[in-house]
Structure 1
Amino acid sequence: MRGRRPGPGQRPGPIQRSTINEASREAGQVRRQGGFAMAIERWRPFGALTEREPFRDIQSEVNRLFDSFLGRPTSAATGTGSRVWMPVVDMYETNDDLVLNFEIPGVPEKDISLSITGDLLTVRGERQFRQELKDDHTYHIERAYGKFERSVQLPMSVQAGRVTATFRDGVLEVRLPKAEEVRPKEIKIDVL
């Protein structure tokens, strides 16, 4: 019997059945090693994901992994213990402008800063946790709080001195006028 896996409902060895992960035991993933039963579980790098929503946080997990690899600030690096998050952005162009819309609900305009350096536009700020939880029973909090930063590389030359920004209903709209050399020009075609 040595070296064989126990089938469903069989005892794996000298330790109590309750100490073995039931899912692993039922899947036949219990092995004997040196007289002790050992449950083998698959490593899940995205363990925070739920079974019902397996792709919900993959983007933030991949961003977190890249940020830690590239040495960018994370919650541990800020020293505040707060989570660093990144607002989503839409980017499109019109004939005259490059337009970026950053979704930043719940952040007052005074807590947002915008800068442009070369072809890199950066939005920074902080969303404060303003809710009192003294007598409440909190079950789940998904909204991100704390510092945020989002840098976007601009796909074309812009006139940095003429950038305008408006903030309405939690959306920061940044309009960057295109440089003259990248604006579309109509060329008249002569008929011969």
Structure 2
Amino acid sequence: MAKTTRAPWMGLIEDLGEQMDDMMREPRRARRDAHVWQPQADIFETAENITLQVELPGVAREDIRLEVKNRTLWLYGERRFEKDAGETVYHQLERSYGAFARKFSLPGGADPDTMRAHLREGLLTVVIPKRPRDTGRRIQVNCID
């Protein structure tokens, strides 16, 4: 009788291969709440403010939500795909549609309570004022007898 040796990890590799094959055969299904794309953003700073600019062409103001949670600025939204009800045949779709989310860490000097945001021509601008730096103060030393 011949003896066969099987490494214990070979079963794991075979299972992984089967899972990969299943994923390749099934079409990718996006959940309704999945974040499909991420808009591009620029962040810059001046002496008074931190400014965030996010490209959101085709996104309505009503479809944008900004929240601050634990020193993090969250941007949520959705760019809706307006499908033509007629006989339109799309040959190429390169733009991203659907839900999106981005998060940005706020530096220690940022004052999220006074931030303001506006959307103009597809560009969302969020201005976050900085808190004045604490320049310190002199403490008088008293004598106790």
- Normalised to the residue count of structure 2, the TM-score between the two structures is 0.66
Q: Is the 8 A contact 2:65 2:76 kept in 1?
A: yes
State the partner residue of 2:42.
90
Q: Does 1:177 align with 2:129?
A: yes
1:80 aligns with 2:4: no
Amino acid at match of 2:49: D
- How far, CA to CA, are the matches of 1:133 and 1:169 in structure 2? 27
1:46-84 per-residue CA deviation (whole Å, 9 max, x = no partner) reads: xxxxxxxxxxxxxxxxxxxxxxxxxxxxx85x6228761
User: How far is the alpha carbon of 1:133 from its aligned partner?
Assistant: 5.7
Say whether residues 1:139 and 2:62 are aligned partners. Answer: no
For residue 128 of structure 1, what is the amino acid of its counterpart?
R
Are the structure 2 counterparts of residues 89 and 147 from structure 1 closer, same or farther at C-alpha, using a change threshold of 3 Å? same
Output the TM-score relative to the length of structure 1: 0.51
Q: CA RMSD in A?
A: 2.3
Q: Which residue of 2 aligns with 1:104?
A: 56
Distance in 2, matches of 1:126 and 1:160, equals 23
Alignment partners' CA distance in 2, 1:157 and 1:116? 15
SS in structure 2 at match of 1:91: strand
Matched, 1:167 2:119: yes
CA distance in 1, matches of 2:88, 2:34: 21
Q: Which residue of 1 aligns with 2:10?
A: none
Q: For the Cα contact (< 8 Å) 1:119–1:157, is it kept in 2?
A: no
Deviation readout 1:111-150 (Å, 9 max, x if unpaired): 1000112321111011111131631221110111110101
Structure 2 regions of 5+ residues with no counterpart? 1-27, 136-145
Q: Match of 1:158?
A: 110
Unaligned runs of 5+ in 1: 1-74, 186-192
- Once residues 36 and 89 of structure 2 are traced to their aligned partners in structure 1, the CA distance between those partners, rounded to angstroms, is 25
Q: Which position in structure 2 is the counterpart of 1:120?
A: 72
Aligned residues: 108
Q: What percent of counterpart residues are identical?
A: 31
Per-residue displacement from partner, 1:85-132 (whole Å, max 9, x unpaired)?
111110001110000001111011011000112321111011111131
The letter for the 1-side match of 2:89 is H
Q: Is the 8 A contact 2:50 2:130 kept in 1?
A: yes
Dislocated runs of 4+, deviation >2 Å: 78-83, 154-157
